[in-house]
Structure 1
Amino acid sequence: MVGPSLSEADRAVASRRLKYGFVVLIGCSGGLVALAADATAVQALGAVVAGLLVGGALLSYLGYVGRQWREKRRR
Structure 2
Amino acid sequence: MVGSSLTDDEKETANTRLKIGFVLLVAASMGLMALQADPTPIQLLVAVAAGIVVGVGLLWFVLRNLADYRSSLR
- TM class by shorter-chain length? over 0.9
SS across alignment from 1:42:
helix
Percent identity between matched residues is 45
2:12 corresponds to: 12
Within 5 Å, give how 1:1-75 maps onto structure 2.
2-74=2-74
Runs of 4+ in 1 over 4 A off after TM superposition: none
Q: What's the TM-score, normalizing by structure 2?
A: 0.94
1:2, CA displacement in angstroms?
Answer: 2.5
Q: Which amino acid aligns with 2:26?
A: I
Unaligned runs of 5+ in 2: none
In the comparison of the two structures, how many residue pairs are matched? 74
Unaligned runs of 5+ in 1: none
1:35, CA displacement in angstroms?
Answer: 1.1
Please tell me the root mean square deviation across aligned C-alpha atoms, in Å.
1.1
Q: What's the TM-score, normalizing by structure 1?
A: 0.93
